[in-house]
Structures are given as structure tokens and as C-alpha cells.
Structure 1
Amino acid sequence: MLQGQRTPQKPVLESFLDALNAPPTERAEIMKTWERLTDESREWQAGLVRVTEVSPRELGVNATIRPLPGYVPRLFDPDLRQRIEDGTRRGCFIVLIGGSSTGKTRSLYEAVRAEAGQWWLAQPADTRDIYRLLDEPDRPAVVWLDEIARFFDQTPALTKPQVARMVRAGHIVVGTLWFEDYSARMDSRVTGAVERELLLFAEKIDVPRYFRPEEQLSARRLAATDSAIRAALDAPDDGLTQVLAAGPELMRRWEHAPPYARAAITAAADARRLGILSPLPSDLLLEAMSGYLSRPEQAASQQKWLMEVTSYAAQPINETSLAALPREAGERPGTPPGYRAADFLAQQLRAQHRAQCPPESLWTALIDRLDSRDEIRRLSDAAAARMRYRLQARALRRLMTLGDGGACIELALLLVRRDDLEAAESVLVEGVRGQRDTRTATALVEVMTLRERAEPLRTTDRTAANARRLLWDLLYDRGESLDLRTKDGRGDLTAGDDLATLLAERGELTELRERANAGHRLAADLLAEMLATLRRSTELAARAKEGDQAAATWLDQQTDAETAEPAAEIARLRADLAAGAASAADRLTSLLFELGDEAALRAEVDAGTPHAVDRLLALLMAGCGDDATAAEEVRRLRAFGMHCDGTPALTEGNDHG
């Protein structure tokens, strides 16, 4: 304070003047100067406060036990605090990565308070607030981005150049991130380069799930005078920070919840699983709950539902302030308050319900009532990954009403797959009228061309089954396979190879077999590989006996592979997926395809696992053999997808559009 580097807090200054026994006139002049300096600083941005003026709860610390338990030093604290101390001179961007309720936010709060307690604090609600920070005068602040994942999918995006500008301006930018979110964002096959570049730019500090022995020793020293820590140490299996966050009690509260409270908690947790981070208003939550209730339970009034939610799910646990379904203020001023599942509970239920598709009531409530384009976009993608195309269409129509120009193209292509070309044209005509994007006009021309190409297949003299197959393929890949067949018929060898590869990827064994028998070398190789993959030893042996060298080679490899035990690898891959390692999806779905495990692949489709839809459809098609009716049903499933309960939606039905 004496060096004049920071404006002191008012109580500190008053105590200092008391100690000096300052004369009243001098005291008044000093306090007047303090008020002026403080007012000038506050003009930088309305609502800004010092770090030390903000409670841990306001910064996201799970203050579930009152008073807040003592802080147990972590082994990474010296490194974290040194980086923040360095950041007070040149700015920094630090992200703590770990699971829910592992102490990320508490450690970050303690470090920032210790090293930059007198700095201004900014808590942006969204990326627009961050951009506004960059437009303010150059006055460094701590920019608090707790749960940084909520900024990833917003518009405008949170990018490396944006954060780098804040660091160059001297800001201390800090945030936390769940490990599974970090793994998913760093997987190049799942996300784009923008998020990876941002996370690569960050100074990352890992927060282990459990305390190390040295940290446990520190906790035991604190336990002598801190009853909360002493109680947490008595339950070592749950983890100290998890117990302090009331994690195990949250799970017990969900497991023993009465029906309406349980439905509300599960719906809110499933919304988090689908990528919805904003609080759910009560009317949305009540609409979503219906799919989690039995028909007799649905007969009660919604007033009774809400009463149980507020009296049980939203009530703090014992003497803590943490509820299974806390009621929170809206994300931005003016937005209604709502309910959001507690972090620890949401994380546990996400792992527990990973392979369960949420009921339709949740999807429709979220799609119809949320106003965020980013969140509706995530719902659309989640529906597509689960082959719930009716819900995807509903989300895309909602995006159109919210001004998303690209949604009409996606919806049109979805309608094309369903052989509803007239509706697809109407959607694109509407899109062309409402915007100047040439992509929409190009898509309209493409759909009109497809409509012309489809007509001959409807009136062709070919057998009805073959014509219908060609029509479904035309609509599914918008002419790719039909063009390859045409070029192959003209002697284009590359097109013939590409067609064989496409048939193998889709599990079209019948046509692949026809091409192999006709002497196509690559088709024979791919057929042998597919037969080996699907463990069809009898046909593979028959082809090898007839002199098919590829079949003989794959038959030997298959004999060796059959001695391997896949159960342990499947369990490991699923555990990796549950922990957020999205890269395990490719190997897991490939292995389930090789095993011919249709039920397990369907479970991965319900989980939204990447590649699961394509592998399931290929497996089903490969199992059709020469049954044209069964193959027709698979193609219709490919076009129309499934209902939320997993049954095929083999007709147009109603997309509620």
C-alpha cells in the first residue's frame, strides 16, 4: 500500500489512518482521494469488483458446508501460484483440468486471491462480454472463465487470438475444464482446430481426482480443528473433495428420490449430457419430465410435480447449501431463472446413462423452448449422432426460425434422404428468399436435379426391387454411387474400385459378391476382408477352396484372431469413452462390428458414439443376404432413423415441423 502500486481496500486504509492518528482534515482529504481513485477505476467497467471482495460461492466454489472448510494445499499449488504471480507482470492464460468436484475451482480461487487479490475481477457471461473487455481501456484484470467449456460453442467463438490479445493486454485469464471435455476438444476427429489451438495455447495444470499422500497428511493436520475435513477423511472411498462437495449424498438423494423429483433431476442431468449448460426454466422442465414418468404418475397435476421438485430436488442437502437440482439465475440479465443438475451428479449420471437415449419429451421441450442457436445446434448434432432424424429435423426447423442460414440446407438434405423432394425444394426456396447465401441456391439446384434423376427410377422397366434400391442409394448419397456405377459401366477402372470400396463400407455384400464373382480384383479382396471381419468362416473357406487367394489369406488370419479375448478390450474402450477419450470410439465400434454385436452397437448409437451409426447400418445390411425385403428395411432405417425408444421410424411420420 505504501509503495502505491494498488489502491488499498477501504477498511485497510481506515485502519492505517487510525494507527497514524491522522488529523481529521488530513484524513478527510485522504479519503476523498481514495474515493476519486476508486470511482475512476470503476468507470473501466460497471459492476467490476476486486477479487478479495467476491465470495468463493460467487466464483463457483462448491461451498456446500458452512462455514467453508479450510483449504488443503495441493501439490500443484506452488506451480499454479507462480504462474499467476508471473501473470501479474505480463498476463497469462491458465486452465485447470480435472473431474467434477476435484477442487479445481477452490484451488484456482485460493491461488488468485493470494497472488492477485487486489486486482479487478471480470466474470464474462458469454463471449460477447469477452469481446467487450477487449474494447475497454487497458487496465488489467482477472478474467474468470470457470467452466470454460460453456464458451466453446458460443457465437462468436472463443479463439486463441482473442485470448492472446487479453494476455498481451496484461489480463490474468483463468478457467477450469472437465477432463472428458478436454479430451473431446483435443480429438481432431471430433472437433475443429479452433478449440485445440486455444487449449494448446493455455498453461494447463492437471487436478487429480484423489489427494496424494502428502496432501492427505496436510488434510489430517487440518482435521484436528476442522470438523468438515475430519468427516470427509472418514469416507476415503469417495474422495475428500467429492465428499466436501456432498457428491455421494447427491447420488443417494437421486437414488431415493420420489418420482417427480427423480424425473426432474434425471431430465436436467440428461440435458447436460446433450450439451445444454443453461438453467432449465420450470415450464421447460415440467414438459421434459413427462417422458420419465409412468402413465399413472403423469395423471397428477403439474402443480404437484413442481411442488415435489422444489421441496425435494431443489432443497439443500442436510446443513449444506448444495442441492441435487439447484435453482439458479438466468445466464444473462432478463432471462428467467431455472434448474441445473449439480455438477457431480450430472457427471455421475452421464457415465451411468451413457448408452440410454433420453425420452422424446426432453428433446422436444429443449428444442421448442430454448432460444440459443448454439444449444439448438448441439441438440441437432446429438440427434443425428443417435439416428433420431425426426428430432434432428425438428431442431433444424427451430434453427431456421432463429435465423441460422445453414439449417435449411441440412434440413433439405435430410428430407431428400426420406424421399420427400418436394418438401426439400420448398425449404430451400424459403431459404433463398430469406438470405443471399449462394450455398442455398446451389443446394436448390442440386435437389431439383436429383428430382429429375429420381423420376426414371420410379417408372423404370427394371425389376421393382432393383429400381427401388437404386432410388434409395441416389437419395442417400445424392448420386455418388449411381455416378460410380455409370462410370464403371463405361470402363472407368478407378470408378469401379471406388464403388467396391463404397459397397464394403456400407455392408452391401450381395452386390460386392456379384462384382467379385465377375472378376473384379478389389471387390474380391474387400469381400474376403468383410467375410473375415464378420467371422463368416464357411463362405470364406468355400471361396478359398475355389482358389480365391485373398479368402485363403484372411481365413488364416481369422483363425488366429478368434483366439483373442475381446471382452477386456471392449470394457477398456468403454471406460475410455466414459472418461471423455473420444478417440476410443473408432476402435470400439469397429470391434463391435467385427463381433457382429448388433445390440452393443445399438447401445453405442443411443449414446451418440461417433461411427456407431455407420457401423450399425453396415452390420444390418451385411446380415440381409439376398433378402431384398430386409435390405429395403435397412435402407429405410438409414433414411428415417429411429424413435427415442429405439424402434425403427420406417415412414415419414411427423417431425412436428
Structure 2
Amino acid sequence: MRSGSIGFMNPENAAHPTGARDELARAIKAAVDEATREGSRRPTQVQIAKATEGKYRHRVSKSAISAWQSGGRIPESWAALSSFLRALEETASLPQGRLDDPKWVRLYERACAEQVPEPGPQAVTLRVRDTDPLELKVHRARTAEGGNAVPAYVPRDVDPAVRRAMSRAGQHGGVILLVGDSTAGKTRCAYEAMTAVLPDHLLVVPRHVTEVPEAVSAVTRSAKAGERCVLWLNDMERYLGPEGMDLHGVRALRTAKATVLGTMRTRMHQQFPDDGLVQLAETFQVERLWSPPELDRAREELYENRDPRLRLALDQAADFGVAETLATGPQLWQRLCGASVVNGNPRGAALVWAAIDLALAGLTDPLPAELLEELHEDYLPGRNKQLLCPEPLDEALAWATTPPDAVTRLLIPDGPGLRAFDYLLDAHLRASGTSPDFIPERVWETALRVGTERRQRFDIALAAHANERIDISRRALRPLADAGDVDGLRGLGVLCEREDRAEAAQWLQLACDAGDVLSHRLMGNLHFRQQDRVAAEEWYRKAAEAGDEVSQSYYRGEPTPVPTRAPQTPDAPLPLHEADEVDDGEEDWEEEDYGPTPRTLRILRAAFGLLADMAYDELEEIGDARVDLQDNYAFLFSDMPVLTWRQKTGWRRQMARCFDDLADDIEVGNWPLPTCTGEEMAMHLALDHASSMVTDEPDLVTELVKGLPEEPGDYDWELCMTTFLEDTDVLFLYEPWSQGIEDPHSPLNQHLGIAGLEADRWFKPFYEGRARDPERGFRR
């Protein structure tokens, strides 16, 4: 069998290898055994394969490792073998270089030089649990930073039904067929179901229609030996027809109680209605466009892992399937990058490149074909454009707008114009990176000439700012500012800050003079980043007086100072509050005596109960209405950060329950330790309320603590803060300078490593092990 082929025998049933390949296989197996004995951890094939996905390493699949050990094949390159050895050291916690030995090079060279006869058709056989999704033709996504070409799986709506069918087939045999459009996610869905339900089955994979008889024989032999099998038929249509699965093969599979798992494109499925295998199949449709529940699960996965590929797919989910975007994008990118050659499609590629650059310059609306024609020759490579023999224009447009093997295409017709597939923009940015020279000068000039609408001027300004072309940003917004457009004035102030803060202040001052409320707060932010806290506070107060809700909320609540973490962004240092005194760790106290006193907990328990009552009472009055600090004032819900003011009744009931949950913790003798962001906010509000009770309602407090001994540490609310809260990140939401910090994709959020501040995630548990009973209900 040739080096690098997917084909290999099951290691449990492989013929015994001979010669140099036999020696290399024994050495690899011995290295794994040695690492298991000497290392502090027992390495598995999955762990070793995962470790090869690191930066600067050659990726090796777990099925390849299994094949090397069995002698079924040899590593495809020395880089692959070396990557395996380094990963084996790492996963076993062996000293770096422990497996360095010149013998490996000699063994590998001799194995490569050994002549072996080319085998006849032979199906791949291995355990389901050892399969690699890429080798089973799951579409490769663009490689993430860690080297992973297969994104985390997002469950599909069809999964439960497919897995139930898989379970039945695993016991009694059967044919399961997943049907859908190209790149709908059929193969990934089948792979995930198979590995989840039937991990111990043998998997048989014919690589070609000529291998179908051998695959059926392998399944039959395994059944006689007591093994259950899965026959994998990705793109099942390739294994049907005159040379494929005949009636005899179908009967043999049924007798062996094998599970046949296949996928087929919708249009191909319509061509085989009478095929025996298709008629036997339990068929499931995998939709190209994802349903709302599927999109919700994808967003949940994005929140957890922040995979930029998934974020891009979700951005395009209204027009394209998530799996489609993940899978087709790389193919289209390669198609584009390889088109500018002789006898290729250089003119078609040039049209696409022109559309990409215009979109990246801010012209995001569909573009007239005439505009692309005007610019495209600049993208034909070389001084003498005709040396490439570019195709005619109509042929070029047809190539760019015709999907090669899916529903997406390089240029997508949209109304009266064309737009580049958004994945291409992202790929181009990742390949080249923004810079002042990233977009050609002629494209900027064209964008400024064509983009005359107000919205387009802002889009161009932002695109130019991203590429450090402040000169273009000024030219885009200056006509608006000269016309007295307040948004234009404010925009110039924001965009010019990186280059010239004095100029930024001038534009913001003009916006303030024109009555722009937001610009008052932005002036405060500008001074805050210059570490002039006095001037910043003055502007924040002006913003509050002018009606800026964020600033009003900040000053009304007088929130507890945030922790002293000094976030530094590349362009705008953001110093926080003055540092608290550092604990030198030398306090002499006994651990069992540490913590809030019984009186403190009693008052805090009362505060939680009162706030819960208040929350439920307010809910009856405000329902889903937005709250504020003016006419729509609600004492409790208006005291929360502005980003929560638009939340609906369901969210507010959960917030009310947070107070009850923490009160119940104290009632049963536990410390009230918040389990989610909502409970953290409840803790802050309750501590503030409890402190006010002690100061303003001494008679009530005396009645509440009757019978409890008085202690020196009573009513130490600062101690409660440090005892019950891991951090005070939620208070960032009150700070005027931190607006937008809740977005997990914002630079400030990522710099600080904050999670769970978005309002719709306030009630998601921090830790699964500490999650409260989801069936506990509500008090009212």
C-alpha cells in the first residue's frame, strides 16, 4: 500500500508486516509503550494526535498513528514522524528530547526505500472510535490558530432522530441515509452520530466503487467473528449503479446485521428512487439553512469558544447555511487564488478582487457590474496584461457568478448588482492584514467618488480607519461635518483620536456645542484615557446633566469602585480607579473565625428578601416596559446597568429569583456564593441596601438581629465583598468609559478576559457543578 494513503488494515486483523516497515512499526509501538511506562501520564492516540495540532507541528491523525503502529502504512514524511515523537513526549510528560535518537531517521529512510507490492482493491477497516473526520471526507474548514481544521460540532435538529435510528441499526442492522444539499453538514452529522452511538463497532470504508465487494466481504467475515460493523458510504451515489452494490451485497449486509451509513446530495437522491439500498434506507433530511434552535446552539458554542469561523458563519446565516459557510469558503478562496494563470480565469478573478477591495473600502452594497469592469484590469497580474490571455468579459462574469459545486459563488448576484462572498473578504484580511497600503489608492478614490450617501461615508471612514488611513477618514466625513452633521462631527472626533487627540477634542467640542449628548461622555472618555481623571469626571457630570443615561446611572448609583486592573489597549490606555492597599498576607487570624458574623448575615438575608419582594412588585407594574431614570423609573430595575433596561418580564423574573436564591443560601446555613452574573449583581445591590438599612433604619435592624450576640466584626460589608465575590467585573457595566465591554468580541473585553456580562447570559451558571436546580421555579 502506498505511503500516505488512507487505506490500511484494521490493526487487530492486519497481516504481520515484514522488513524495514516491520522494524519501523515495532519501533513506534515500542516508543509508545516506553512512554507509557516512564512518563507521568498515560498517552492515548487521541491525546497524541491533539498535541500534533499545535503551532509549527505537522498534524497527524489518530487513525494514522494506529496505522503506523500496525505496519499498515508508514508516515508520509519525516516531519510527520518527528511531530508524532514530540507530541508523544509532551502527552506522556517526558523530558523534551527524550525520544531524540539518530535511529529514527535511519529507520524511516529504510522503510521509505523498501519496495512493497501494490495491493489490489481493499476497503479500510478500523474501529469507529479511531476514525478521523477529515479522512472520512468531513469538509475541512479554514484552519484555526491552533491548527484545528474541524470546528466544534454544533448539534443539528435532526441529530436525536438519526441517533435513535443508529442505535436500532447497531443492534439489528439497517440502512441510514442523510440527504441534503452540498455542504449542508450531512457528513459531519453522520460522523458525530456514529462516533457517539457506535464507537466500538468496526468501520469499513470502501474508497472506490470497485472495492464494494471486498467491503461487503469484510463485513461478512467480521459478523461471523462476532464483530458488528458500520459500512460507511459517503456520497452513496458513487457506490450504486451497475458496478456498485448489487442485490447480493444488500442481502449479505442484512444477514450480517450491519449498519450502512450513507450520505447523498438531494439532486442525486432523486436520480436513484428505485435502487435497492436507497429503498431500504431510513432517510433523514439535513437542511442547508439552519433553524432558529440550531442558530441558538451555534451562538452558545460561539460564546463558549469564540471561534472566528463560527462567528463568520453566523453573520451569514440569513443567506447561507452555517456548515456551508464553514466548508465552502476555503474552496472558493483556493479557486480564486489559483485563477490568475494562463488558461485560467484571470479576468474573472480580477473582477472578484475588485469587488473584494471595494467592499473592504466601505462599499458594502451590491456593486454595479460596470464599476467592477472599470477597475478590474488593475488586478490582472504583470505589466503586459495580455500575456495571460484573459478570457472575454462575459465569460469572466459567468465564471465568477457560477457556483462550482455548491450554492455559493465568488460573486453573488444581489438585486441590480454583485457582491463578493463575505468569506473572501475575511480570508483576504487574514492573509494580508490591514495596512495603509492594503487597499489600492484608486479603490479609495473610487469609493469616495461613488459612495456619496451618508451611510456610505461613515462606512468608508471606518474602513479607512481600520487601515490607518486617517486622511481618507477625514475626507469621507468632512463634507458631513462641514454641513453641521452632528454624527459627522462626533465621528471625526472618535476616528482622529489615535492620530491627534487635540484635533479629536476640537471635533467633539463642536459636537457638544451643537447639543450632542453622547459627545459629552466621549469627551470624558478622551480625558480618562489621557489619565486626567478630574477633567473626565467633569465631562461625565456634564453628560449626566445633558441627559446621557449611562452617565446618569453612573452618578446616581455611586457604584462600588472596580478592581484595580489596568487595561491597556494598543491605542487607548484605560487606567482604572486608584489601587487599593495591597494585603501583605501577614494578618494573624484563624481560618475558622474568618467570615461575616451572624448579625451581618441576618441583615444581608433580610436585604435579599426585601429586594426580591420589590422586584416582584415592580414586575406587576412595569411588565415588559423599558425602564429609565425619568418617567419610567423603577427603583430596583433602574438601579441596574443601562444595558438591562430593555429586558423583558422573563429576564426580570429570573433576576428577582437571584435575590431569593441567595437569601435561601443564608437561610439553610450556607454562605451566599453567587453562581452567575445575575446573582453577582444581586449581591452588590443587597450589600448596598443592607448598608443603608444599618445606617438609616437602626430600629428595624435591632429587631432583625434580636437574640444574636454582638461582635466587633458586625456589618463589615467590605469583608462580605471579598468573601462572597470572586471579582467585581459586573460593576464595569456602570463605568462610562467601558460601554460595550459586555461584547465578548470587543478588544477591551478580550484584553480583560471577562465573560458573562451580556444581559442574556446573566443567568448562565459559572460552573456546571454549582448550577442551581433548573426546576426550582419562582416564588411568584
Query: Scaled by the length of structure 1, what TM-score is found?
Result: 0.33
Query: Scaled by the length of structure 2, what TM-score is found?
Result: 0.28
Greater helix proportion: 1
Task: Say which structure, 1 or 2, has more relative contact order (CA 8 Å, 6+ apart).
Answer: 1
